Every structure is written in structure tokens, then in C-alpha cells.
């Protein structure tokens, strides 16, 4: 009986039912859209932070490079023999450590021993500047004047027949190439610079190659310099065999060459030194506690977490994320509350127009609770219908955002004190003070949790509207119906 009457009443008032359902649908659709876009923002920020960190890395430990003192500026200096034979090619490499002041390798063990740390790996960041080219000698020629000379000319005075010697031709042509090198602890490759890359050609280092003259190149560097697996790479006169080509998970990774840590230390004249210590926490929820412990027990170091790095991300990604997190959520809440109120007011208004109906039903013996249940039932059905429409609209909006994939930019600033120097994508060696711009395609994934939230809101909206309408209907008396007839 309840179901039959419910169906008949909803069919009889299709227009009012559709208006209430659409009001709820718009609010629910906005909630789904904002939640899905916020999830897309989090994914985008995750990609940015992933490009700065190695997989599994929760924080890094570095040390700020002190200000240079004295006349030495630390700039690269190259010496060439300008007296060499014409056309002789000359080449020189300048290898410099980057990423802040060097740390003793023993600090890696100390960091690993801190409470809450499950693993720590040291890495050395280098920047190699290669200059090669050749000098070409010029030739000195003298010119003789035409015509008969005077006595002054014969004596070599002004206007004489012999002019000043002139150098013709000659010069120099040199090419400058700079690239980054990361020294990798080959015994713990799951943490550190190489962890964010996948070997696509060849193989990675073995645990036995701690001091082997082998190298893994990034795909972009190998393509640009026409390097292949089995070929060689010469750095400061040392030849390294290329054993693998790595493709980074993030397109913004700036490390070009990976070497065993000991080989990198030899190149950079940094024996038993590292520039960055990658740290993995035992509990991801206690990262701040681990950070505080490291800073307290190992003085002079800078500990950088993903939260610190997130603060350095600016650009349209950061702006859009802030809008989605604040303005978008508050707007969706406001629209949802408005939708609930409109549904409640429309339901209450509809009940007012059904005075004769409910008064007659009470005169026939319907108790107030049965009348209230009837109104609440109709409102819940309206809410479910609005929820279905809202979910459909929300999914459509999320799909449209994903299909369009608007591009957002993220500028990665320096965290200071060496920050993420040497970390994958963190500006790379020698680039800590320069902002690195990434372009991220925005998507809007919709989770099952979001759908469940939408369904819950639909039911809640129906209950709110039904509660107000039911309360009004329960207060009606049979005499009200008689007065409306009169």
C-alpha cells in the first residue's frame, strides 16, 4: 500500500519532483567535480615531488655551502697551450661537486642509525664542464707602397714603401658542453638518484661494481650525444663503458650520467664524501619526528622533506590547487547547503498545497507518523533521483576535464642550503638556485569514495527535505481539510 501510493503521488507531481531532484543534482555534481579535480591536483603535485625525490625517499640530508672567501671564486678555469700546432684539437674537463657542502661518508651511517630511519644512502652530485676545440695560427704579412719613393721613404721615414706588418687569419673555435653526473651507491639502488629511472636498454650496476669504470646514461643524454650501450664515455681522461640507458619516471629529471659512487668521488676529488643523503623513514606518519631527530643529533645539516619541497612549488599548479582546496570546497559546500534548503522549502511548500489530501487521510484513520513516513519516503526518492543525476553530471564534468587535460605549470624553487642538489629533477647539479619549470597535464579521477559520498549526500538531502515536510504534514488536522473544502 505504501509503495503504490508513493509511486502514484510521485507520478502525479513529476514537475515538482524533477525541480527538487535537479536542485540536489547540481549541488552533488559540484561536490564530485571539486573532489575529482582536487584529487587530480594531488596527483599532479605527487608527480612534481616524485621528480624531486627518489622512490621511497622521505627526506634528504644536505649541508649549506659556505660563502666563498678570498680571491678564489670557485669558477671553472681552463688552461690551453696556444702555441700548439695549427689545427690541433685540445680538450679539457672541469669537474666540480654540486648540491651544497660535501659531507663525510661516515654521516650516512650515523643518519641510518637514527631512531625512525629504515634506510639511508649517500650520493655525490657533480657538474662536468667540457671545453674542446682548436687554435688556428694567423700569418703576418707586410704591405709595400707603389710609386717612386723619396729620400724620406728610402730612409724609412713616414710614407716609406714598407708598411706595418698585419696578421691575417687565425683564431680559435671551442665548444663548451656541461652535463650532470650522479655518484650512485650501487649496493642500494632502490634509494637514491637512480631510483626514479627505469633501465630501458642494457642493464644497471651490479653490487660488485662499486669501483668499476662503467656508466648508465639518461635516455635524453644518450640520444643527444649519440651514445649506445657498449660504447664509451670519457670524463677527464678516464673512459667509462656504457652498460645501460635509463629513462626517468619524470620527464624533468636532470641527471645525465650515473657512475658508481667511488668513481664519482675519484673524479670530483672528493674521497669518502657525499653531497646528499637520501633517507627513508620507517613510518611515513612520523617523518617530522625523524627530521627533528636528525637535525638535533647531526648539527649543521639541512633536512628537507616532501612537505618542505611542496612549499617551493609555485606556478599555475599551486594556484589551481589552492583554489580547489579553499574556494572550490567552500563553494561546493555553499551550493550543497543551498540545494538542501531549496529541496526542504519546495517539499514544505508542496505539503502546504496538499492540506485537503493529508487532512482527509487523517480523517480516514491515518496516524501522524504514517503521514510523516509518506512525505519522507517521497523526499528520499527525490534525493536518490537527484543523486543519480548529480553523479552522472559529476562524472561527465570529470571526464571533460580529463579529456581536455589542461596544462598546469609548476616552478620548482630552491629549498635553500643546498636543498635537493643532486636529487633527480631537483634542478640537477649546479642548478639549485634556478627555478625549474615543469608542465603537468591535469586529470580528474573519480574514486569510489567520492561516489559513495555523493550517494550519502543525496540520501541526506532527501531526509532533510522530508523531515521538514513531514513535520509540517504531521501538524495538520482533519478540520484543516474541511476548511479548505468550504
Count of other CB atoms within 10 angstroms of residue 104: 12
Report yes or no: 133 and 176 within 8 Å, Cβ to Cβ: no
Kindly tell me if the per-residue pLDDT of 122 is higher than 80.
yes
Kindly tell me if the per-residue pLDDT of 315 is higher than 70.
no
The structural domains of the chain, with segments of one domain joined by +, span 2-52+315-406+442-485, 88-133+174-299
The whole-number pLDDT of residue 380 equals 83
Kindly tell me if the per-residue pLDDT of 307 is higher than 50.
yes
Helix (H, G, I), strand (E, B) or coil at 464: helix
Helix (H, G, I), strand (E, B) or coil at 322: helix
Kindly tell me if the per-residue pLDDT of 451 is higher than 80.
yes
Instruction: Identify the band that residue 83 occupies on the pLDDT scale cut at 50, 70 and 90.
Output: low
Tens of pLDDT, residues 126-177:
988 887 766 666 676 665 544 444 444 444 444 444 556 676 666 666 677 7
Q: Each residue of 422-440: b (16+ CB within 10 Å) or e?
A: bbbbbbbbbbbeeebebeb
Instruction: Identify the band that residue 350 occupies on the pLDDT scale cut at 50, 70 and 90.
Output: confident
- Span 95-104, average pLDDT: 82
The whole-number pLDDT of residue 239 equals 94
What pTM does this model have?
Answer: 0.55
The whole-number pLDDT of residue 186 equals 93
Is residue 21 classed exposed, middle or buried when 0-12, 13-18 and 19+ CB atoms within 10 A define those classes?
buried
Amino acid at each position: 500500500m505504501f509503495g503504490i501510493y508513493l509511486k502514484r503521488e510521485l507520478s502525479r507531481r513529476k514537475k515538482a519532483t524533477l525541480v527538487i531532484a535537479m536542485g540536489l543534482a547540481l549541488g552533488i555534481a559540484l561536490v564530485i567535480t571539486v573532489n575529482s579535480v582536487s584529487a587530480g591536483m594531488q596527483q599532479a603535485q605527487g608527480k612534481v615531488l616524485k621528480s624531486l625525490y627518489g622512490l621511497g625517499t622521505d627526506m634528504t640530508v644536505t649541508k649549506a655551502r659556505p660563502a666563498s672567501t678570498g680571491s678564489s671564486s670557485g669558477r671553472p678555469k681552463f688552461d690551453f697551450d696556444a702555441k700548439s700546432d695549427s689545427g690541433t684539437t685540445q680538450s679539457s674537463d672541469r669537474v666540480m661537486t654540486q648540491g651544497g657542502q660535501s659531507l663525510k661518508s661516515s654521516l650516512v651511517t650515523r643518519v641510518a642509525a637514527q631512531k625512525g630511519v629504515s634506510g639511508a644512502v649517500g650520493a655525490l652530485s657533480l657538474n662536468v664542464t667540457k671545453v674542446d676545440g682548436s687554435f688556428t695560427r694567423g700569418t703576418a704579412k707586410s704591405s709595400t707602397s707603389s710609386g717612386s719613393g723619396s729620400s724620406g721613404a728610402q730612409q724609412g721615414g713616414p710614407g716609406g714603401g714598407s708598411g706595418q706588418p698585419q696578421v691575417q687569419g687565425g683564431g680559435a673555435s671551442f665548444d663548451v658542453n656541461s652535463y650532470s653526473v650522479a655518484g650512485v651507491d650501487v649496493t642500494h639502488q632502490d634509494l637514491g638518484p637512480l631510483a626514479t629511472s627505469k633501465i630501458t636498454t642494457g642493464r644497471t650496476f651490479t653490487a660488485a661494481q662499486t669501483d668499476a669504470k662503467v656508466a648508465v646514461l639518461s635516455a635524453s643524454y644518450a640520444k643527444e650525444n649519440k651514445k649506445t650501450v657498449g660504447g664509451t664515455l670519457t670524463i677527464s681522461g678516464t673512459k667509462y663503458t656504457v652498460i645501460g640507458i635509463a629513462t626517468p619516471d619524470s620527464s624533468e629529471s636532470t641527471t645525465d650520467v650515473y657512475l658508481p659512487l667511488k668513481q664519482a668521488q675519484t673524479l670530483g676529488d672528493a674521497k669518502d664524501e657525499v653531497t646528499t643523503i637520501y633517507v627513508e623513514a620507517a613510518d611515513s606518519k612520523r617523518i617530522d619526528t625523524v627530521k627533528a631527530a636528525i637535525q638535533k643529533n647531526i648539527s649543521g645539516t639541512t633536512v628537507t622533506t616532501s612537505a618542505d619541497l611542496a612549499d617551493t612549488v609555485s606556478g599555475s599548479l599551486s594556484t589551481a590547487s589552492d583554489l580547489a582546496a579553499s574556494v572550490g570546497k567552500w563553494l561546493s559546500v555553499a551550493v550543497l547547503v543551498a540545494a538542501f534548503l531549496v529541496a526542504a522549502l519546495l517539499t514544505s511548500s508542496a505539503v502546504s498545497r496538499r492540506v485537503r489530501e493529508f487532512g482527509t487521510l487523517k480523517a480516514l484513520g491515518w496516524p501522524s507518523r504514517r503521514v510523516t513516513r509518506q512525505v519522507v519516503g517521497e523526499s528520499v526518492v527525490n534525493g536518490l533521483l537527484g543523486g543519480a543525476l548529480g553523479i552522472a553530471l559529476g562524472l561527465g564534468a570529470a571526464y571533460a576535464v580529463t579529456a581536455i587535460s589542461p596544462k598546469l605549470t609548476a616552478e620548482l624553487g630552491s629549498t635553500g642550503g643546498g636543498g635537493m642538489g643532486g636529487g633527480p629533477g631537483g634542478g640537477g647539479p649546479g642548478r639549485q638556485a634556478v627555478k625549474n619549470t615543469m608542465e603537468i597535464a591535469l586529470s580528474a579521477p573519480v574514486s569510489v569514495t567520492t561516489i559513495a559520498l555523493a550517494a550519502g549526500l543525496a540520501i541526506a538531502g532527501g531526509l532533510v527535505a522530508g523531515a521538514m515536510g513531514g513535520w509540517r504534514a504531521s501538524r495538520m488536522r482533519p478540520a484543516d481539510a474541511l476548511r479548505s473544502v468550504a
